[in-house]
Amino acid sequence: MKKTVIKATIAWISTVIILACASGIWLSLPQGNLQDKPLDAQGKKPVQSALSVAATAQNTVALCPVLPSGEKSQTVVAALSQHREAPKGSYRTMGADTLALAPYGNGYVSAATLTDVQSGTLEVEPVKNSPSLGIGLSYSVVGEKKPSLQVGQCATPVSSAWFIGASTKIGSTSELVLTNPSTVAVTVQLSAFDHIGPISDTHGDMTIAPQTTQSVRLDARYPQTDGLAVHVQASGAGIIAALKTEESQGLTSLGADFISPAAPPMPQVTIPAVRLGNSDQKLRIVNPQAQPVTASVFVIDKAKKKVLPGADSISVSAQAVQDISLDYVEPGLYSLVIEADKPVTAAAKLVISPEIEKTAASDQRLLSTDKPSDDSKDRDITPSERDFTWSPAVEAQTSGVVIVPKDMPTTFVGATLTPTQIHFEAPGRSDNSAGNAHANDDAHSDSGKQGINDTPGQQNVINVKAQAPATLQPGIWIWASQTPVSLGGIAATADNKGIAYIPGFVSAREATTIDIRIVP
């Protein structure tokens, strides 16, 4: 495994070095060309505000997480090129088995499906001197009587990642897994926050040796902490970070989640996929600033934006988290928008339970801050029949890719405050089985039932209005919109005992281009 990772990551490191060199060369150029240009209409000299540098055509590498095997599990890996030609790629599992990716659909996608959860390394070759995008997703339904749906995203190294939703209170465990795929050591700094403020950490920075993985038990590092948010920062070539958290009551499991990173702090952040209707659901806002922030929370439902009652002006302490209950919002699928006077990030905890789901359709609870009535106590969740997931804030973009695992239809929600359309395209066949894809408009009527076609070369496009859900069948879907959209998905098992957030991926072009911002 080590030899394989070494070979796979050399190309990745070369890409980073070449990109850095390209950036340095441009920044070191004399400014005479810019200064010599004529003044604009306002009498000002033009300013170079941005420069796009295409990534050098090297192999791209992603690592897929380690998930527990379950009664239903699957790993899907894929490669997408920027041209109408399928890229070559291979997936090497932890057991050293190598699986070649096969052409999938219309020519620019290659993919492979493993019928079990198998972590490993995905390596993708460039096409026509343009880097290809390597993506992957694993899912597992763990447990028989008390199942938990867990989903992990194959990832590439990053220098910063925010994880919201960990808990180390009694009965809870959270484990942060850090992998350094490069050939040089990486320094990792952890910053943690709770409801009071920043958590003192006597452990200091960590050094992750080349080609190694290190696990950090957060319940040992930050004991007895509820409402935990962790910021991971890495030097050099970056780190691949993953966070798993579990909750229990005595010997009874209350669910588990493989938490996806949240968007970096911004004055406005959007959580696109929020399925509500159960108890113990909450919104967690993280303020990393050294000063308090004032934030307002809005709910987007069927393209309508309204303030969450009681959350129109919330004060979040400096370097602290603030939880807001979502238990008494009318059951449904929503998006949340947090607007603050300083950058924040956020995530929402979603809970599923068969007992609650039976009454969700007839539940008439309102979007209000009224205290629950005595009757509402009857809707409390039975501990032995519960699972949860954290739906994170997502950066807005105009295109991307999503993977829907087999036997796990997923509802994706695109959230934007600007009316637009999201086009989902199925590039080809998926597991030799056709499926339907349903898109609902504001009136919740079907507007497309084309699905994934078994015949390569055909396209299927679904139009979805903003803030409306699109339920997609298994396969790889490429989407695009006219304006930036925050998009995320929610999957649930057929028996409503397991729930998980399904992350999306950026498009091949966006993933392999660097924007260098020059501030005048």
Residue 396's pLDDT is what? Answer: 93
492 and 498 Cβ atoms separated by less than 8 Å = yes
> Residue 145 has what pLDDT?
64
Strand ranges (DSSP E) for 194-331? 206-208, 212-217, 228-234, 240-249, 252-259, 266-276, 282-287, 293-301, 304-307, 314-316, 320-325
* Backbone torsion region of residue 419, taken as left when φ is above 0, otherwise alpha when ψ lies between -120 and 50, otherwise beta: beta
Over residues 247-279, the pLDDT tens digits come to 877 777 788 899 999 999 999 999 999 999 888
* Range from 9-23, 208-222, 442-456 carrying the lowest mean pLDDT: 442-456
Looking at residue 143, what is its pLDDT?
73
Q: Averaging pLDDT over each range in 124-128, 420-424, 428-432, which range is the top one?
A: 124-128
Mean pLDDT for the chain overall: 76
> Which helix (H) or strand (E) is 104 found in, with range?
none
Residue 493: its pLDDT value, please?
Answer: 84
d(CA 373, CA 302): 28
Please report, as a single letter, which amino acid is at residue 232.
V
Q: Provide the token pair at 108.
A: 């620019």
Q: Does residue 519 register a pLDDT over 50?
A: no
Alpha carbon separation from 145 to 27, 234, 244, 252 (Å, rounded)? 60, 40, 21, 11
Classify the C-alpha dihedral 373-374-375-380 as positive or negative.
Answer: positive
Indicate the burial class of 18 (C-beta count within 10 angstroms; 0-12, 13-18, 19 or more). middle
Neighbours of 280 (CB within 10 A): 18
pLDDT of amino acid 156:
85
Q: What is the pLDDT of residue 360?
A: 42
Average pLDDT over residues 15-35: 35
pLDDT > 90 in the chain, percent? 36
Q: Report yes or no: 294 and 246 within 8 Å, Cβ to Cβ.
A: no
123-127, 212-216, 416-420, 455-459: which range is least confident on average? 455-459
**pLDDT for residue 378:** 42
Tell me how far apart the alpha carbons of residues 267 and 111 are, in angstroms, rounded to a whole number.
38
Who has greater pLDDT, 142 or 435?
142
Count of H helices and E strands in the chain?
Answer: 5, 36
Residue 226 DSSP code: S
